Structure 1
Amino acid sequence: MNTIVASRTALVTWYALFALVSMAANLGSQKIAWQIYSGSFSIPLAVCIGTGVGLVVKYVLDKSWIFRYEHRSVTHGVHTFLRYVAMGLATTALFWATEFAAQVLFQSETARLAGGALGLTLGYIAKYQLDKRFVFA
């Protein structure tokens, strides 16, 4: 029993750490993108760039360290990544809705990034279950 609890605790700890790394990559790349370009549609563009960066970082970490998943071929790897992206669509909608709601309500970059962090946290909780059942099964 202690082994199961220890392994579950380790899994949750690593997953949370990797979620934080991915969130930092996402929000950091958003900030950089927004600093480079602050014209029309700069916020949606920054959010899309951040989402892409965070997605790739989280996929690599989850595949390698959380699920210890091996691809059988390049084609299998592409299909796995596409399933990962598909499972992330709903969680991305939650993340974006939370981030954009914070922007509309508080009209500040700090609030928008805080809303993004909240949305990412909620999304990652759901994403783990989806990935476990449908992507890395």
Structure 2
Amino acid sequence: MRLQTLIVRYTAFAVIASFVNLFSQRVILLMGQSLPYFVTAVVVGTLGGLVVKYYLDKRWIFFDHKKGLRHDSRQFSLYAVMGVFTTAIFWGFETVFWLIWQSHFLREIGAIIGLTIGYVLKYHLDKRYVFSPHG
């Protein structure tokens, strides 16, 4: 795949996963504004975005067509583990922006910055450890 195509696809998939993430958060935060709602929103949004991004990356970025519960379970587990560090970056930016400005708009700006940094790192980790030809 050409580099330009890779960048366009990966960016589009990151935008789709980010939308799923932030939309999920917003729906939960409509139910309440307290800390438990915030934590629930961040966790649910992150999980939703992770699942969507995994399936898009698997099929359209890394062209991995291997199937089977055992393979997919192992691969998704690795994918999720690689995301722990990058998720900490995302959560860190989102939380800091929320704590400083107490604004949902700026919380989402922080989330977008954190997600962008995290996705760039995640691509390289996934390419090397999750979807490698040796995996």
TM over 0.5: yes
Among 119, 123, 126, which residue is 2:118 paired with?
Answer: 123
Seen in structure 2, the aligned counterparts of structure 1 residues 18 and 48 have a Cα distance that, compared at 3 Å, is: same
Aligned structure 1 segments of 4 or more residues deviating by more than 4 angstroms: none
Spell out, residue by residue over 1:75-116, the C-alpha distance to the aligned partner (whole angstroms, 9 max, x if none): 011000000000000000000000000001111111111101
Q: Name the residue aligned to 2:36.
A: 41
Counterpart mapping for 1:63-102 below 5 A? 63-102=58-97
Distance in 2, Cα, partners of 1:90 & 1:103: 20
Identity of aligned residues (%): 39
Among 53, 56, 63, which residue is 1:58 paired with?
Answer: 53
Distance in 1, Cα, partners of 2:67 & 2:27: 36
In structure 2, stretches of 5+ residues that fail to align are: none
Distance in 2, Cα, partners of 1:22 & 1:76: 23
Matched, 1:107 2:80: no
Distance in 2, Cα, partners of 1:40 & 1:133: 37
Amino acid across the alignment from 1:25 = V
TM-score (norm 2): 0.93
Seen in structure 2, the aligned counterparts of structure 1 residues 93 and 107 have a Cα distance that, compared at 3 Å, is: same
Matched, 1:10 2:5: yes
Alignment length (residue pairs): 132
